[in-house]
Amino acid sequence: MWRERPARGDQPALWRFSLEDAHTRQRRVFASLEALMVFLQKQMGMEDAEMTSREES
């Protein structure tokens, strides 16, 4: 996770995220926390509805 400074000073900084596979060393970069979570949910075989219902309980 790192903070990326904007090209223009009047814009807010953005947080970026990355994951690396320990076996293959393949690195994936995500532009948002939401994109990272969607990727992880798909990797775990979870549907959005399942994740939402678990968070609510």
Q: What is the pLDDT of residue 23?
A: 93
Residue 26 lies in a domain: yes
The overall average pLDDT reported for the chain is 85
Q: Which of 48, 21, 45 is nearest to 34 (CA)?
A: 48
Q: 2 in helix, strand or coil?
A: strand
Residue 33 lies in a domain: yes
pTM of this prediction? 0.65
The 10s digit of each residue's pLDDT in 26-48 is 999 999 999 999 999 998 887 65
Q: Are 54 and 48 in contact (CB under 8 A)?
A: no
Instruction: Read off the tokens for 8.
Output: 């223009």
Question: Alpha helices, DSSP H only, in 1-57?
Answer: 33-43, 48-56
The total number of structural domains in the chain stands at 1
**DSSP code of 34?**
H
Q: What is the pLDDT of residue 6?
A: 83
Residue 28 lies in a domain: yes
Residue 57 lies in a domain: no
Which residues form the domain of 16? 2-46
Q: What percent of the chain has pLDDT over 70?
A: 81
Residue type, 17: F
Residue 54 lies in a domain: no
